[in-house]
Amino acid sequence: MFNYSIKDACLNNKTILVTGAGAGIGRTAALNYAKLGATVILLGKTVSKLETVYDEIIALDLAQPAIIPLDLKGATKQNYIDMASTIISQFGHLDGALLNASTLGELSPFTQINEQMFTDVMNVNVNAQFLLAQALIPALLLAPKSSLVFTSSGVGNQGRAYWGAYSVSKFATEGLMQVIADEYDTSVIRTNAINPGATDTNMRACAFPAEDKAEIATTEDIMPLYVYLMADDSVEVNGQTLKAQ
Ligand code: NDP
């Protein structure tokens, strides 16, 4: 695992947005950020899942979170602009954004990739990340030193047979991250990507249905890197794709 020892209260007074916060890695990251002192903004598609995470955070007597229901597949530029305005009016600024939500699409031989599926994967995994980042950067610039984190994959810099749409989308994600990282100094925003590695979630089970879950990392196991990139210890880290394990 990424070698970082998490310090108590290291995210105190930070406001952090997590996309895909209702399930999988995003859910665990949101809960950990809240436990470490952050106010979390939970963005995702299924409201009931976000409400469950909200309730868990409230039950632990942590800072009250906010919920933003948004389907990244159909959202428009105006939706993202409105979301960012709401964040600024409610919280004043954003200290961190974990762009975690994405979709796997279908794995298939390249010549059989369904055009609509390819477009849907690109919409969620690339276009929505672009629009999210564009809308959120003004809120991130209002914080003293903020952290923008994209989510890549092992197929985000090395193509793999049958992983067409998803793999291409993760290459684009790393491109987005590198372009933004090169435009800003770390004194304002640092931009990086996480490659979580094989982690026990619904997405992983869809991709590898026969895998023994006991053999792969849990979402809790990979949290050191997720916390590190939001904590002040990473203020000088920029333009990197880091492996969580
Ligand atoms: P899950 O499928 O378990 O969770 C994905 C989350 O994203 C869910 O909360 C889901 O919401 C949300 N989401 C999906 N589509 C949309 C959408 N259109 N609009 C809004 N939210 C959406 O995936 P993981 O936790 O495994 O993956 C998290 C990230 O890590 C992804 O970017 C993935 O590519 C990456 N990753 C994961 C690996 C793994 O082994 N698990 C390995 C490498 C990379 P809802 O539940 O409401 O649909």
Is residue 67 a part of any domain in this protein? yes
Which amino acids are annotated catalytic?
166
Is residue 22 a part of any domain in this protein? yes
pLDDT tens, 44-85? Answer: 999 999 999 999 999 999 999 999 999 999 899 999 999 999
Mean pLDDT, the chain, integer: 98
Residue nearest to atom 34 of ligand 1 (CA): 102
What's the CA gap between 145 and 125, in Å, rounded? 26
Read off the pLDDT band of 144 (50, 70, 90).
very high
Query: Where are any strands of DSSP class E within the chain?
Result: 15-19, 39-44, 66-69, 96-99, 146-151, 189-195, 241-243
Is residue 2 a part of any domain in this protein? no
The best mutation among 203, 206, 226, 243 to test binding of ligand 1, ranked by most ligand atoms within 8 Å of the C-beta, falls on 203
Structure tokens given for 70: 């948004």
Say how many Å lie between the CA of residue 43 and the centre of ligand 1.
12
Is residue 8 a part of any domain in this protein? no
Total structural domains within the chain: 1
Is residue 228 a part of any domain in this protein? yes
CATH number at residue 104: 3.40.50.720
Read off the pLDDT band of 141 (50, 70, 90).
very high
Atom of ligand 1 nearest to the CA of 125: 32
Containing domain of residue 97, as a range? 15-243
In the structure, which protein residues have their CB atom closer than 6 angstroms to any atom of ligand 1? 20, 22-26, 44-46, 49, 71-73, 100-103, 124, 151, 153, 196, 198-199, 201-204
Read off the pLDDT band of 17 (50, 70, 90).
very high
Read off the pLDDT band of 156 (50, 70, 90).
very high
Is residue 9 a part of any domain in this protein? no
Residue 68 DSSP label: E
Q: Model's pTM, two decimal places? A: 0.99
Strands 96-99 and 146-151: parallel
Atom of ligand 1 nearest to the CA of 202: 3
Structure tokens given for 8: 């108590």
Is residue 10 a part of any domain in this protein? no
Tell me the three state secondary structure of residue 185.
coil
Name residues whose C-beta falls within 8 Å of residue 227's C-beta, 6 or more positions apart in sequence: 4, 6, 10, 11, 32, 33, 36
Phi, psi values for residue 223, rounded to 5°: -65, -30
pLDDT tens, 210-226? Answer: 999 999 999 999 999 99
